[in-house]
Homo-oligomer: A and B are copies of this chain.
Amino acid sequence: MAGPKKLTRAEQKALRPIQILDAAFEEFVKSGFAGTRVEDIADRVNVTKGTVYVYFETKEKLFEAMINHFSVPFQELLAVTDALSGSATDRLTSILGLLYEQIAEDRPTRELTRLVIAEGHRFPDLIDRHHDQFIEPIIAKVDALILEGVASGEFREIPVEFSDIVVAPILTTTVLRLIFDNRRVAIPNKEEFLRAYFDLLLNGLLAKPL
C-alpha cells in the first residue's frame, strides 16, 4: 500500500551510509581522492561534514568503503560465469560479452577503473585486492577456457600467458570512454562492437590465414 515516500527513522538511519557512499563515489570520480572535499560529499546528501564522520572515521576509510561498495556487482558477475555451458567458443564469447557489459558499459565499474588507475599509488591494498578479486579470476577463467578449447581442438594453440590480449578490447574501450567520455570518441553500439570484436578475435585479420 505504502509508496516509497516516508521512511521510518530506522530506515532513514540504515540508508545514510549508503547515501554517503553514493555521494562519495560521485565526488571522488569527479575530483580524485586528494581533490575531493568531505564537505562536498556531505552537501550532496544534505547533511553536514560532522555526519560523514559519524559513519566513516576518515576520508581514506570512506574512500575504501566506497570502492568496496561499488565492487559488489562485479563480484556477482564472476559467479554467473561459472554457470555457462556450450562450446568453448560459446562460453568464451558469453564471458567476454558479460565483461563488456559490466566493465565498459556500467558506469560505476568504469569509474572504479579510473580510480584504481589514478589512486593506486596511494592505496596499495586497494590495488592488491582489485587484482585478487577481479583481474586474477577473469584471467584464470579466460585461460581455462582457452586451454579447454585447445584441448578439444576448437582453438589453435596460443601462448596462454598473454591471454590479456584476448580481453584487451574491453579494457581499451573502457579506458577510451573514461578519457573522452562524450567528447570526441563516439560511444560504440554494443551489438556491433561485439560482433566486430568476436569476428576479429576468432577469425583474425588475414584473408588467407598462414
> CB within 8 Å of B: which residues of A?
30-35, 89, 114, 116-122, 124, 127-128, 130-131, 135-136, 146, 149, 153-156, 158-159, 161-162, 164-169, 171-173, 175-176, 178-180, 183-186, 188, 192-193, 196-197, 199-207, 209-210
Contact = CB atoms under 8 A, between A and B. Distances in A.
The prevalent SS among residues of A at the interface is helix
Nearest to A130: B179
Contact of A206 (B156, B161, B196, B210): B156
Contacts of A136: 184
B196 A204 contact: no
A29 B149 CA distance: 41
B196 A155 contact: no
A206 B93 CA distance: 12
Contacts of A205: 146, 149, 155-156, 158, 166, 201-202, 204
Contacts of A164: 169, 172-173, 176
Copies of this chain per assembly: 4
B167 A172 contact: yes
21 contacts: A32-B118, A32-B121, A32-B122, A33-B34, A114-B118, A117-B178, A127-B179, A127-B183, A130-B179, A149-B205, A159-B192, A161-B186, A165-B172, A165-B197, A168-B171, A171-B176, A175-B175, A201-B204, A202-B209, A203-B210, A209-B209
A8 to B, nearest CB: 19
